[in-house]
Chain A
Amino acid sequence: MTALAESFLKELEAVTSTVDLRQLRSRYTGKNGVLTGELKKLPTLTPHERAAFGKQINDDKVFIEESIKEYEKQLVSKEIKTKLARDPVDITLPGCYKKPGGRHPVTIVLAEITDIFVSMGFGIEEGPEVESDYYNFEALNIPKNHPARDMQDTFYIETNCTGASAQSGEGAFVLRTHTSPVQIRVMKHSRPPLRFIAPGKVYRCDSDVSHSPMFHQVEGLVVDKNISFANLKGLLEGFLKKVFGPSVPVRLRPSFFPFTEPSAEVDMGCYFCKGNGCRVCKGTGWIEIMGAGMVDPRVFRNVGYDSDIYSGFAFGMGIERIASLKYGIDDIRLYYEGDLRFLRQF
């Protein structure tokens, strides 16, 4: 080791900060540094000596630079440690971020249902919330002055119309009582095969712990050749097992909807008592979860489909009802109060 290298090492040992190190580096390798000074001696040497001296200076230079680089690494990590030690954080303080808001349970369940049907190749359709009497009732085989109208307590919209419908207290426009009118709207402007769902708000003139004047439904329709009642059972069983788990029992029992024939109520085994009977299922072990049926040929006639060629099924379900079962909510009004303590749980 040269004397120059030795004196450099001695100085390096005394260095304790990156600032000092930078000074040391410029003192040795800078424009007017020690090494440059050494090089100035070259002209005084013989050509023979020059080669050896040149090589020696170069070796020193490499040695010095490498040493500085190495030492710098150590210093930097030491300095970071010191700095952190001087400026401690309390790792238990909460992080600084925007707390995400809550999702509405109706939105969550709607999205879940939509995803399941979209995965089966269903489209998504929509219709207006204020419907004409024709789409909400007549086209669905619910004639005026028919007791089937009593099945749904209807909100009527004030219009300037007079005549028979005004006389009987009914009107030309209603807040749709179900999402079924979307069936008619879609069938009127497209041809089979069809498979879609229609989610949306619906309205009934009714309000208590389990009834809300506004709630959400998802309607579904499949129309094709050779669609059977067994297919309706298969699809709805598959759907409910996806939503409530593969072991949930599902049964269909005869019912009446003017726009399906045969019609069915779809029950699933009570989620809470596993079929033993409890308050929720009124002791029956079964919970009514949706309505369904084969499309009534009168409905096909109203939209110009030939029921000798095509058959189909329709189904409808209440979203709040499914959400209430999934999340154990026993008062439907909670969905519309906007209580953040409720909504932020989702």
Chain B
Amino acid sequence: MLISYNWLKDYINFTESPEAVADVLTMAGLEVEGLKKQADGDVILELNVTPNRADCLSVIGVARDVSTVLKKKLILPEISDFDNATDVINKDVKIKVEILDTNLCHRYCGIVINGVKIAPSPDWMQLRLQTAGIRPINNIVDITNYVLLEYGQPLHAFDKSKLKGDVIIVRAAEKPEAITTLDGIQRTVPAGTLLICDASAPLAIAGVMGGAGSAVTEATTDIFLESAWFDAASIRVTSKQTALRSESSFRFERQTDIEGVKRAALRAASLMIDYCVGCVSEVIDNYPTRYSAQQIVLNYKKVQSFLGVQISEDEIVAILSRLDFKVERQNGSIVVTPPSFRRDIELEADLIEEVARIYGYNNIPAVMPQLSLSINNVSDKHKKLAELRQSLRYAGFTETINYSFTTNDDFTLLDIPEGDERRNAVTVKNPLQKDFNILRTSLVPSLLRNLKYNISLGAKEVYIYEISTVFFDSGSGFPHERLKLAALSYSSGGKRLYAEPAAHFYRIKGLLESVLSGLRCMNYELRQSNEGFLADGQSADIFIGDDKAGFLGLITAEIAARLDMTDEKPDIAVFEMEKIISDNESVPVYRTNLMHKFPPIERDIAIVVDDACHSCDIGNIIKNESLDPEHLIESVEIFDHYRGKNIPEGRKSLAYHIVYRSQDRTLLDSDVDTLHAEIVKSVMTKTGGTLRA
């Protein structure tokens, strides 16, 4: 809302500077977002009027708040009610106003003004309209807009000669109806839309826009001036449905002052007589749904305890009275009747806010609350996520956060098959842009885009991860939201100072293992993956129990090529998993293992097996309990994996380090010799392997 500083002076005698007035308004809840100096010395205040303050969508409304804070009298324009007006002519012509829908139209005033002369409005009025952002048209239309700005009551002037049957009918459309609006566009409004009609057709979409057919033109001589109260929600729905927003609809949506409907019409009529030469012939006020003022009891003590400040009874009464609230004192409390233009005031709390904002938030002390101690819900999840981020960070990975929005291109990029759960995405009805129309079900495509972006910026190594919620359509009701962790590792293979310790697959697997061990998650298992976007033989699925919790591996060359990156054969490893944090909040029971003090005996075993043989299977054979009933094996660790010279093609050498230890005695070589020999035999039999020479 743009408010002229000079215009405010019509209603209050004050000397405060525009900056001081801006500060007064801002600290009373009408934030001034900017001041604009005008050529004529006026200053425009750019007000941010919150949706609850419909009364401040007018100069008088804003002036009332200024006068309340400055403790100055509000001077309102004098208005004739034309009851005994000598200039009223032609009293016989009666226009009949019929309100058929009294739910959507509570009051309708009409004033007939004859003999007007259409001309430009006076310069001062044009200037005030222009500074408020409204284009001057002619004296009649300008006066309706001027009063709209002054009182916040939208008005509409019809060319009375275009009205058929001397009747105004206010009704809701029963079926879709056609009307050509002022802007010359033919529109069809849906059933339920409130319309202003004459005997034959709709004249206007009530509260939103007038019709072209009954518009005031150069040739107009007789005016039918409308001032009415329409249901706010109804006007809002119509405005949305027709995509028409006007100064009028904006105010109706926020509720106009039903008691001010006639006053605004009379004010406009007075101005029309002054500036358009006409005569008032008829004043109609059809008010079927009466406004009844609400009374609210306000307890002084409640004000004081709620705000935490000892504000006096007299001050409370004075503030509310200056805001035009009717106040009746009782014992310990007051009965307050808010004015009809403050429909936002319904409860005691609303009154307390009025008192507080005028009293000044700055005058209320800042006092830390006194609260009793309690055990609060700070779940393990937040601690674990913090630890997880820490461990990823020290593994060299940088956190990214990407938009939850994406497109179906994600699925094509990764060849996600039809029917895969990940295609079951949630759709956004009104996306900001076309490529933002669904919500992510996987974080990997986002990380691949991050990779591409960073390579384009010249990055040679990219280690990134994201922890975010993904969304799955549930068919009906709330979507399923799951927390996922994904990481991506890329290096261009350039020369580096110290040798890379392991192949890429083992590095991303190592990251996963360190993450999971950090989370004390040990009960997972890796199985061969059949994800289409991961390279065969360089990928695995992560299982927790029988549920697939994720995957890891190298992105296939084909998928990588689709990314169209400057690195044509990028070496990209990824993993993604969910269920990283268990929902189980129960306190775990820990049992600490005793550290045995007897000395160990250590033995190694090196065996040559088929390439297809899995190292962990051999580990399991070694740990087989049936061979070791005494549980002498304390640990088994693989320490060598070798393929190449001296090992036949298609085979590999694996070497394990076994630690034997007894809980109750010092082991002798002889205790271990037999067991170890049996283990070696068992490994050879079960794997078809041979001892490495």
Chain A interface residues toward B at CB < 8 A: 93-94, 96, 98-104, 106-107, 111, 114, 118, 121-125, 128-130, 132, 144-148, 150-151, 155-160, 168-169, 171, 173, 175, 193, 195-196, 201, 203, 205-207, 213-214, 222, 224, 226-231, 233-235, 237-238, 250-256, 258, 261-265, 282, 294, 296-298, 307, 311, 335-341, 343-344
B50, B253, B369, B426: the one within 8 Å of A234 (CB):
B369
Whether B389 and A107, one on each chain, are in contact in the complex, defined by CB atoms closer than 8 angstroms, is yes
Whether B366 and A234, one on each chain, are in contact in the complex, defined by CB atoms closer than 8 angstroms, is yes
Residues of B within 8 A of A311 (CB): 306
Q: Evaluate whether A103 and B377 lie within 8 angstroms (CB atoms) in the complex, with A129-B404, A130-B426, A201-B404 already known.
A: no
Residues of A within 8 A of B305 (CB): 226, 228
Residues of A within 8 A of B361 (CB): 233, 251-254, 264
Q: Evaluate whether A343 and B379 lie within 8 angstroms (CB atoms) in the complex, with A156-B428, A233-B367 already known.
A: no
Considering only residues 417-438 of chain B, those with a C-beta below 8 Å from chain A are 426-432, 436
B51, B349, B372: the one within 8 Å of A148 (CB):
B51
The chain B residue sitting closest to A216, CB to CB, is: B401
Tally of A-B Cβ pairs under 8 angstroms: 258
7 A-B residue pairs with Cβ-Cβ distance under 8 Å, sorted by A, are A155-B431, A157-B427, A169-B430, A214-B405, A238-B368, A252-B361, A254-B356
Residues of A within 8 A of B34 (CB): 282
Considering only residues 239-294 of chain B, those with a C-beta below 8 Å from chain A are 240-241, 253-254
Interface membership of B79, Cβ < 8 A:
no
Residues of A within 8 A of B401 (CB): 104, 106-107, 335-336
How far apart are B48's CB and chain A's nearest CB, in angstroms? Answer: 9
Whether A233 and B353, one on each chain, are in contact in the complex, defined by CB atoms closer than 8 angstroms, is no
Residues of A within 8 A of B236 (CB): 145-147
Whether B373 and A121, one on each chain, are in contact in the complex, defined by CB atoms closer than 8 angstroms, is yes
Secondary structure class of chain A's binding surface, majority of residues? mixed
6 closest A-B pairs by beta carbon, nearest first, are: A230-B308, A254-B29, A228-B308, A123-B376, A256-B50, A338-B450
How far apart are B76's CB and chain A's nearest CB, in angstroms? Answer: 25
Whether A103 and B237, one on each chain, are in contact in the complex, defined by CB atoms closer than 8 angstroms, is no
Interface membership of B371, Cβ < 8 A:
yes
Chain B interface residues toward A at CB < 8 A: 26-29, 31, 33-34, 50-53, 232-233, 236-237, 240-241, 253-254, 305-309, 347-350, 352-353, 356-357, 361-362, 364-369, 371-374, 376-379, 382, 386, 389, 392-405, 426-432, 436, 439, 446, 449-450, 453-454, 457, 459, 462-465, 468-469, 471, 476, 478-479, 481, 497-498
Whether B50 and A339, one on each chain, are in contact in the complex, defined by CB atoms closer than 8 angstroms, is no
Residues of B within 8 A of A98 (CB): 394-396
Kindly state the separation between the CA atoms of A207 and B436 in the bound complex, as whole angstroms.
12
Whether A263 and B353, one on each chain, are in contact in the complex, defined by CB atoms closer than 8 angstroms, is yes
The chain A residue sitting closest to B236, CB to CB, is: A145
Residues of A within 8 A of B386 (CB): 111
Kindly state the separation between the CA atoms of A234 and B27 in the bound complex, as whole angstroms.
19
Whether A262 and B353, one on each chain, are in contact in the complex, defined by CB atoms closer than 8 angstroms, is yes
How far apart are B455's CB and chain A's nearest CB, in angstroms? Answer: 10
Whether B404 and A261, one on each chain, are in contact in the complex, defined by CB atoms closer than 8 angstroms, is no
B233, B399, B429: the one within 8 Å of A145 (CB):
B233
Whether B402 and A130, one on each chain, are in contact in the complex, defined by CB atoms closer than 8 angstroms, is no
Residues of A within 8 A of B498 (CB): 96
Whether A157 and B366, one on each chain, are in contact in the complex, defined by CB atoms closer than 8 angstroms, is no
Kindly state the separation between the CA atoms of A255 and B430 in the bound complex, as whole angstroms.
29
Q: Evaluate whether A222 and B369 lie within 8 angstroms (CB atoms) in the complex, with A98-B394, A107-B399, A114-B382 already known.
A: yes
A103, A263, A264: the one within 8 Å of B393 (CB):
A103
Whether B476 and A160, one on each chain, are in contact in the complex, defined by CB atoms closer than 8 angstroms, is yes
Residues of A within 8 A of B398 (CB): 101-104, 340, 343-344
A148, A207, A231: the one within 8 Å of B432 (CB):
A207
Residues of B within 8 A of A124 (CB): 377-379, 382
Whether A130 and B478, one on each chain, are in contact in the complex, defined by CB atoms closer than 8 angstroms, is yes
Residues of B within 8 A of A226 (CB): 305
Whether A146 and B51, one on each chain, are in contact in the complex, defined by CB atoms closer than 8 angstroms, is yes
Whether A129 and B481, one on each chain, are in contact in the complex, defined by CB atoms closer than 8 angstroms, is yes
Q: Evaluate whether A157 and B428 lie within 8 angstroms (CB atoms) in the complex, with A224-B371, A230-B308, A253-B361 already known.
A: yes
Residues of B within 8 A of A335 (CB): 401
Whether B51 and A255, one on each chain, are in contact in the complex, defined by CB atoms closer than 8 angstroms, is no
Q: Evaluate whether A147 and B254 lie within 8 angstroms (CB atoms) in the complex, with A132-B478, A168-B240, A229-B356 already known.
A: yes
Residues of A within 8 A of B306 (CB): 228-229, 294, 311
Kindly state the separation between the CA atoms of A159 and B352 in the bound complex, as whole angstroms.
41
Whether B400 and A130, one on each chain, are in contact in the complex, defined by CB atoms closer than 8 angstroms, is no
Whether B253 and A193, one on each chain, are in contact in the complex, defined by CB atoms closer than 8 angstroms, is no
Kindly state the separation between the CA atoms of A297 and B34 in the bound complex, as whole angstroms.
33
Kindly state the separation between the CA atoms of A152 and B427 in the bound complex, as whole angstroms.
20
Kindly state the separation between the CA atoms of A169 and B432 in the bound complex, as whole angstroms.
15
Whether B369 and A227, one on each chain, are in contact in the complex, defined by CB atoms closer than 8 angstroms, is yes
Residues of B within 8 A of A261 (CB): 347, 349-350, 352-353
The chain B residue sitting closest to A106, CB to CB, is: B401
How far apart are A100's CB and chain B's nearest CB, in angstroms? Answer: 5
Q: Evaluate whether A254 and B353 lie within 8 angstroms (CB atoms) in the complex, with A104-B401, A193-B371 already known.
A: yes
Whether A343 and B377, one on each chain, are in contact in the complex, defined by CB atoms closer than 8 angstroms, is no
Q: Evaluate whether A256 and B396 lie within 8 angstroms (CB atoms) in the complex, with A213-B432, A336-B402 already known.
A: no
How far apart are B619's CB and chain A's nearest CB, in angstroms? Answer: 27
Kindly state the separation between the CA atoms of A150 and B249 in the bound complex, as whole angstroms.
14
Kindly state the separation between the CA atoms of A45 and B171 in the bound complex, as whole angstroms.
144
Residues of A within 8 A of B350 (CB): 261
Whether A231 and B393, one on each chain, are in contact in the complex, defined by CB atoms closer than 8 angstroms, is no
Kindly state the separation between the CA atoms of A251 and B52 in the bound complex, as whole angstroms.
22
How far apart are B336's CB and chain A's nearest CB, in angstroms? Answer: 15
How far apart are B507's CB and chain A's nearest CB, in angstroms? Answer: 10
Q: Evaluate whether A231 and B308 lie within 8 angstroms (CB atoms) in the complex, with A114-B382, A123-B377 already known.
A: yes
Whether A129 and B469, one on each chain, are in contact in the complex, defined by CB atoms closer than 8 angstroms, is yes
Whether A230 and B353, one on each chain, are in contact in the complex, defined by CB atoms closer than 8 angstroms, is no
Q: Evaluate whether A339 and B457 lie within 8 angstroms (CB atoms) in the complex, with A213-B403, A255-B31 already known.
A: yes
Whether B404 and A214, one on each chain, are in contact in the complex, defined by CB atoms closer than 8 angstroms, is yes
How far apart are A28's CB and chain B's nearest CB, in angstroms? Answer: 32
Whether B27 and A253, one on each chain, are in contact in the complex, defined by CB atoms closer than 8 angstroms, is yes
A123, A132, A228, A251: the one within 8 Å of B378 (CB):
A123
Whether A228 and B307, one on each chain, are in contact in the complex, defined by CB atoms closer than 8 angstroms, is yes
Whether A118 and B29, one on each chain, are in contact in the complex, defined by CB atoms closer than 8 angstroms, is no
Whether B463 and A101, one on each chain, are in contact in the complex, defined by CB atoms closer than 8 angstroms, is yes
